Amino acid sequence: MRRPYSPFNNKRFIGNTNTNEVHDLDSETSNCKINEIKHEHVKTFSPDTHAEAENQDFDNCAWCIGNSKY
Ligand SMILES: [Zn+2]
């Protein structure tokens, strides 16, 4: 579920700079624990794409994206 407020700003892909994982909020599961990510650890992407998150070396969340590398 996308969140319209800061720091999520309605973005689809949200990185956690603490775990270096990226989440797809359109496929979010309760296991993602998005609401437990500290706001200072929330990273959004421009463009808001999975490819951009990969370019920045974020690993996939195993729950909402899959194919986690680590
Ligand atoms: Zn996730």
Question: What's the 12 CA to ligand 1 centre distance in angstroms?
Answer: 11
Question: What's the 32 CA to ligand 1 centre distance in angstroms?
Answer: 4
Q: Is the pLDDT of residue 41 over 70?
A: yes
User: The pTM is what?
Assistant: 0.94
> What SS3 string covers the chain?
CCCCCCCCCCCCEEEECCCCEEEEHHHCCHHHCHHHCCHHHEEECCCCCHHHHHHCCCEECCCCCCCCCC
Mean pLDDT taken over the chain: 96
- pLDDT tens digits along 46-68: 999 999 999 999 999 999 999 88
Taking residues 28-49, report their average pLDDT: 98
Provide, rounded to the nearest whole percent, the portion of the chain with pLDDT above 70: 99
Question: What's the 47 CA to ligand 1 centre distance in angstroms?
Answer: 19
Q: Compute CA distances 32 → 13, 27, 37, 52, whole Å.
A: 12, 10, 9, 20
